[in-house]
Chains A and B, each alone.
Chain A
Amino acid sequence: MISSSKVFHNRRKSKLEAQEALTGWLFILPAIIGLSIFIYGAVIYSLGISFTEWDLLTPAIWIGFSNYSKIFTDQTFLQCLYNTIFFVIVMVPFGIIFSMAMAIALNYPIKGLSFFRAAFYMPSITSTIAIGMVWLWILNPDQGILNAILRGIGITNPPRWLESVVWAKPALAIMRLWQVSGYYMIMYLAGLQSIPTELYEAADMDGAGFWQKTRYITIPMLSNTTFFVMIMLIIESFNIFEAIYVMTEGSPGGSTNTLLYYIYTEAFQSYRMGYAASLAWVLFMILFVLTMIQFMIRRKSEQENA
């Protein structure tokens, strides 16, 4: 008797399990099908395209690794890489300093906190295309407000910013820093909130000043956030596209060209799909390594917080 009811029970259970499995699959299916086409399939397809020479009008020609071997002697590619490294070197330290300083300042219980937070954060939600046009005008050497201010404080010959090979990159870095710092500030604010207040209370008792507390408590306790922000800023530097599109188109003399912009022009202006796809894969590989590092840090800090 017992065994037969158990068999019945098991059969019923397995029927329920089968039903649950079917429901489970049906629920994820729409998302999985779409992603299989537009992400997984596309990624594989792009790898295929990267081994061809293809202008979209004539049939693609399989050329093996030729695109890839060409990349590392391609002057434009190397220049893009150099430009990106410049952006990384400028944006990482300044981005970290600005966003951390803003977060520390906003971590005090002051009046108007939500106003300041909104003000600092606003540039990062605005479209780069739109705000890029505003900066195009700000940076205009003759009619722009930046040079008007510089002349006002006595600099008679201010830089020609986006028209100058020397100043175009710094100008873009300033614009991007202005735009993204508020976003990282929010990351730092969250990091600051997780520092135990007892640490500061103990430091107060020892008579530590603001700088000492910042140096010996705040900055070390924020190191996870800082690492995360650093990786994000590096990825950010590699991904500069819209600002270039609307402000410089890579000029003067390719001094502001970035990999993403180069991929775009190769694919959609020169119609060299194969070469553009291989460039995209090289950029993918670079970003993949960076994302992996960032992801592991994130996992680690999440485990520590849990």
Chain B
Amino acid sequence: MRKKTTSKTIGLYIILIFVAIIMIYPFIWAITASFKTSAQLYGGNPLELIPRPFTFQNYIDAWTMLPFYRFLLNSAVLSIIVPAVSILLSSMAAYSFARLRFKGRDAVFLMLLAVMMMPGHITLIPNYVLMRMLGWINEYIALIIPPIFGASLVFNIFFMRQYFLGMPKELEESAIIDGCSRLGIWWKIVMPNAGPAIATIAIISFKNEWNTFLWPNVVINDYLKMPIQVGLSYFKSNVSSNWGMLMAGTSLAIIPLIAIFLIFQRYFISGMLTSGLTGK
């Protein structure tokens, strides 16, 4: 009996390890390839992972060809600003929906519900036209304002509202009796107690911002203002199939996010489960 269980466990491990290799191998392959010389990349055995000799040349070449530090910096700043503003606006609205009573509240909430049924591509063309009218093409503001007011804002409102509804009202009651304003209550009592919800939204929005491509690709042509994914795609069109350089650029685009994922895994998973459609 015992022997049977052990052999089953071993079988399970073999399958799991096999799948894990398939899932991780492309990452390891890309990252190790970025340190290989072109002699090894084109002449050597493609199955060999270890770079020999080890070289930074691909990174140096990529870095001198295009300002990758700008791409990374742009993405880092955007991935902080956009989620931060989104969290502020959505939690404010969510608090109102969860705790305050006013005429039209439920109608507005239903209207928000409708946004969840609208695919993102439907607003692409009109918003692009709007950016042209406003003169925001090639401006950072086009990467900040429209992305904040996307479907993700609505998801964040729903998520925060759900969280606030689960918070005990007693927390706020004494502050209400003390005559604290609603703004004060939201900022000083509700927000400090919403840590896990904020963290979940922050991490998912950070991921989405870091990976965003279609919108910035449409509104930004100036390479100094490109976020990393657009910069990477622009880089690709310039180096065609120089795999060493391409993998160096790719590694720069994925390593920061993988690092964050490994640190905050828990929030990624809880966020994915609740946000449903936003996890693209």
Give the B-binding residues of A (Cβ under 8 A). Answer: 17, 20-25, 27-28, 30-32, 34-35, 37-43, 45-46, 49, 56, 102, 105-106, 108, 110, 114-131, 133-135, 137-138, 140, 143-145, 148-149, 152, 178, 182-183, 186-187, 190, 232, 235, 239, 241-242, 245-246, 260, 263-264, 267-268, 273, 276-277, 280-281, 283-284, 287-288, 291-292, 295, 298
A84 → chain B closest CB, angstroms: 14
- Decide: A130 near B279, CB < 8 A? Known: A182-B23, A267-B125: no
A32 engages B108 (CB within 8 Å): yes
- Please give me the residue from chain A that is nearest to B203 by CB atom: A125
Given contacts A35-B153, A39-B151, A182-B23, contact A27 B125 (CB under 8 A): no
Residues of A contacting B175 with CB < 8 Å?
none
Q: A34-B149, A143-B243 are in contact. Are A125 and B229 (CB under 8 A)?
A: no
Partner of A38, one of B29, B150, B262: B150
- Out of B95, B118, B129, B145, which one reaches A273, CB within 8 Å? B129
Q: Pick the residue among B12, B121, B123, B207 that contacts A110 (CB under 8 A).
A: B12
Contacts A34-B153, A119-B20, A144-B46 given; indicate if A46 touches B122 (C-beta within 8 A): yes
- Chain A residues, Cβ within 8 Å of B102: 20-22, 24-25
**Interface status of B193 (Cβ within 8 A of chain A):** no
Task: Select from chain A the residue with minimum beta-carbon distance to B231.
Answer: A129
Contact segment of B53-61, B62-70, B166-174, B269-277: B269-277
Give Cα A300 to B123, complex, Å. 29
Chain A residues with Cβ below 8 Å from B45 are 148
For A178, give its contact among B23, B241, B249 (CB under 8 Å): B23
Tell me if B's interface is mostly helix, strand, loop or mixed. helix
Contact in complex: A134, B30 (CB < 8 Å):
yes
CA distance A129 to B211 in the complex (A): 8
Which of B42, B117, B129 meets A288, CB within 8 Å?
A: B117
Q: Could you tell me the distance in whole angstroms from the C-beta of B31 to the nearest C-beta in chain A? A: 10
Q: Name the A residues within 8 Å of B273 (CB-CB).
A: 186-187, 190
- Check B73 for interface membership: any CB of A closer than 8 A: no
Chain B's nearest CB lies how many Å from the CB of A241?
6
Which residues of A lie under 8 Å from residue B218 when comparing CB positions? 268
Q: Please state if A291 and B115 are interface contacts (CB–CB under 8 Å).
A: no
A27-B95 in contact (CB<8A): yes
Q: Is the CB of A31 within 8 A of B250?
A: no
Contacts of A298 in B (CB 8 A): 276
DSSP class of A's interface residues: helix, strand, loop or mixed?
Answer: helix
Asked whether A143 and B42 contact (CB < 8 A) given A27-B95, A28-B108, A133-B236, the answer is: yes
Q: How many angstroms from the CA of A134 to the CA of B247 in the assembled complex?
A: 7
Q: Are B90 and A31 in contact (CB under 8 A)?
A: yes
Residues of A with C-beta under 8 A to B97: 28
Whether B202 sits at the interface, judged by CB under 8 Å, is: no
B19 close to A (CB within 8 Å) = yes
Shortest Cβ distance from A119 into B: residue: B20
Q: Are B123 and A137 in contact (CB under 8 A)?
A: no
Contact assessment for B254 and A45 in the assembled complex, using a CB-CB cutoff below 8 Å: no
CB distance from A117 to the nearest CB of B (A): 8
B144 to chain A, nearest CB (A): 11
| B115 CB contacts on chain A under 8 angstroms | 35, 39
Q: Are A23 and B122 in contact (CB under 8 A)?
A: no
A17 in complex: contacting residue of B19, B101, B126, CB < 8 Å: B101
Whose C-beta in chain A lies nearest to the C-beta of B132?
Answer: A56
CB-defined interface of B1-33 with A at 8 Å, one 1/0 digit per residue?
000000001001101100110111011011001
CA distance A133 to B239 in the complex (A): 12
- Asked whether, in the complex, the Cβ of B272 is within 8 Å of the Cβ of A280, the reply is no
List of A residues within 8 angstroms of B96 by Cβ: 23-25, 27-28
Docked-complex contact B233 and A43, CB < 8 angstroms: no
- Does B124 sit within 8 A of A, measured CB to CB? yes
Nearest 10 pairs of A and B residues by beta carbon: A34-B149, A27-B96, A21-B102, A24-B102, A24-B100, A127-B211, A45-B126, A42-B123, A38-B149, A42-B126
Known: A31-B149, A263-B121. 20 other contacts (CB 8 A): A21-B101, A24-B96, A30-B92, A35-B153, A38-B130, A43-B123, A45-B126, A49-B125, A121-B268, A121-B269, A122-B24, A127-B229, A127-B253, A129-B253, A135-B26, A137-B243, A138-B29, A178-B26, A241-B214, A288-B117
Bound CA span A106–B15, Å: 11
Give chain B nearest CB distance to A149 CB in angstroms: 7
Can you give 9 contacting A-B residue pairs, CB < 8 Å? A17-B101, A30-B89, A124-B279, A128-B213, A133-B250, A143-B42, A245-B213, A284-B121, A295-B116
Contact between chains at B258 and A284 (CB < 8 Å): no
Alpha-carbon distance A24/B98, docked complex (angstroms): 10
Q: Is the CB of A20 within 8 A of B101?
A: yes
Interchain CB contact under 8 A, A105 and B232: no
Query: Complex formed: what's the CA distance from A268 to B254 in Å?
Result: 27
Q: Which B-chain residue is minimally distant from A46 (CB atoms)?
A: B126
CB distance from B126 to the nearest CB of A (A): 4
Give the residues from 237 to 280 in chain B that come closer than 8 angstroms, CB to CB, to chain A.
Answer: 241, 243, 246-247, 249-250, 253-254, 257-258, 261-262, 265, 268-269, 272-273, 276-277, 279-280
Task: Tell me the bound Cα distance from A90 to B89 in angstroms.
Answer: 40
Q: With the chains together, A183 CA to B211 CA distance in Å?
A: 16
Contact of A137 among B93, B246, B257, B268 (CB under 8 A): B246
Are A280 and B124 in contact (CB-based, < 8 A)?
Answer: yes
Residues of B within 8 A of A280 (CB): 121-122, 124-125
